[in-house]
Structures are given as C-alpha cells and as structure tokens.
C-alpha cells in the first residue's frame, strides 16, 4: 500500500499515446489535458494525466501495462495493488507507476458502458454513444469530448478552482449543441440548480 499521493511526475501526452496506441482497447485522454487538446494548446500546468478505459476492457489493458508498470487500485481513500486477473467491479481509479517507490506517471479512469453507451457514474440516466464521446487531435490522439469532461468536473461534490478555470477557458470554444448537452445534463443531475448553468 502507498500513501504518497502527491508524488507525481506525469508522462506527456505523446508518451501516453505511444503506450496506449499498441494496446487493443478503447481509450482516450481525459481531465485537464482533454480540454487543452481540444483547444490545441496548453493553457495551464497539469499535475497529473488521466486516461480513460472501459470496465469491460480493463483486463486487456492490465495485461499490457503490467509488463512495465505497477498498478494500484484507488478506493475509499486508499491505494492497494491491483492483482493479476483481478476484475475491478466498482473501482473507478487506478494509479500507475514504474516501481513501488517511483513517482506516479498516469491515472486510469475506468468508465462503465452498457451495450455501446457510456454511462455517467453520478447519474446513470445520462449516457452517450461510445462513438460520440471521443474526439481526436490532428495527430490522431484521442481525448474525451469537452462537454463530457466538463460534466465530470462540474458534477463532483465540490468544484475545484482549476475545474472552474477550465470551464471559463473553453466556454467560448464550445459549440451550441455542446453547451446544450452540458446544460441539460447539469439540470438533470442538479434539479435544484448549478452555478455553471447560467453561463450556458
């Protein structure tokens, strides 16, 4: 078990692409980097880097990554080794490092799907076709659609300052249909209201 949660030396987007482009799973960059990839420029410092995979394909990803990396399940505020052939039924986050003492290199975010639909973990009535949720840069690097990434950022128990800043940064670049989807999703998750809705 590790407790050094601040010990990060994240890989670059190019390094992540090099690793995952040879793994036969559906994946994409998420988090703040997804926002910057959509904008085509780095707008702030990133203390980590997130990669999305599906729950159904987790063991395939594990088999490839386990050759060079150590993987830790992050659950209930604790980090514990992800054992070989262990299927993660409820774990959503996996932290990855080169050794049991080296800095964290990237984080896996495991998403749930049903048939060919992504399911939002905080409100399972919110879903999108898997063919729609991933966009690609001109270089072919896959990343999570901005409105879906913003929903994840807005939908937590507390919106962090960096998440609000990401929202303000990308808002002028969002298409009308992207704003409309985010607005309706936030209204569904937060019928009592959400601070971001008025900007959409």
Residues whose CB falls within 8 Å of the CB of residue 55, separated by 6 or more in sequence, listed in order:
88, 110, 111, 112, 113
CATH number assigned to the domain comprising residue 126: 3.30.460.40
The 10s digit of each residue's pLDDT in 174-198 is 999 999 999 999 999 999 999 999 9
Q: Is residue 151 part of a domain?
A: no
Q: What is the pLDDT of residue 142?
A: 99
200 residues of the chain, pLDDT tens digit each: 799 999 999 999 999 999 999 999 999 999 999 999 999 999 999 999 999 999 999 999 999 999 999 999 999 999 999 999 999 999 999 999 999 999 999 999 999 999 999 999 999 999 999 999 999 999 999 999 999 999 999 999 899 999 999 999 999 999 999 999 999 999 999 999 999 999 99
Predicted confidence at residue 1, as pLDDT, reads 79
Q: Are 192 and 74 in contact (CB under 8 A)?
A: no
Cα distance between residue 154 and residue 74, in whole Å: 21
Hey, is 83 helix, strand or coil?
coil
Domain assignment present for 173:
no
Burial class (CB in 10 A: 0-12, 13-18, 19+), 11: middle
Tell me, yes or no, whether 179 lies in a domain: no
Maximum CA extent, the chain: 48
What tokens appear for 73 in the block? 């399940």
Show the beta-strand stretches assigned E in the chain: 27-30, 50-54, 70-75, 78-81, 93-97, 104-114, 117-119, 127-129, 134-136, 142-144
The answer to whether position 28 is within a domain reads yes
How many helices and strands, by DSSP H and E, does the chain display?
A: 6, 10
The DSSP code for 12 is P
- For the whole model, what pTM was predicted? 0.96
Query: Residue 165 falls within a domain, yes or no?
Result: no
CA distances from 183 to 67, 123, 169 (A): 42, 14, 17
Question: 118 has which bridge partners?
Answer: 113, 128
- In a domain, residue 127? The reply is yes
Q: Is position 94 within any domain?
A: yes
Q: What is the domain range of residue 87?
A: 13-145
Say how many domains are in the chain: 1
- Residue 65 in domain: yes
Q: Which tokens belong to 70?
A: 């150590």
């Amino acid at each position: 078990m590790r407790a050094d949660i601040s010990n990060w030396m994240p890989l670059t987007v190019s390094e992540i692409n090099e690793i995952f482009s040879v793994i036969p799973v559906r994946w994409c960059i998420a988090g703040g980097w997804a926002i910057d990839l959509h904008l085509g420029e780095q707008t702030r410092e990133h203390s980590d880097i997130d990669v999305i995979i599906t729950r159904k394909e987790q063991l395939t990803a594990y088999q490839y990554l386990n050759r060079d990396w150590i993987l830790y399940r992050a659950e209930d505020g604790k980090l514990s080794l992800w054992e070989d052939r262990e299927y993660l039924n409820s774990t959503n986050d996996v932290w990855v490092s080169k050794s049991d003492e080296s800095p964290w290199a990237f984080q896996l975010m495991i998403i749930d799907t049903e048939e060919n639909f992504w399911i939002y973990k905080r409100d399972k009535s919110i879903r999108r076709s898997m063919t729609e949720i991933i966009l690609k840069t001109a270089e072919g690097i896959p990343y999570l659609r901005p409105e879906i990434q913003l929903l994840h950022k807005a939908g937590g128990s507390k919106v962090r300052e960096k998440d609000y800043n990401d929202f303000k940064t990308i808002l002028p670049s969002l298409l009308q249909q992207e704003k409309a989807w985010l607005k309706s999703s936030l209204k569904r998750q937060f019928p009592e209201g959400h601070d971001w809705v008025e900007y959409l």
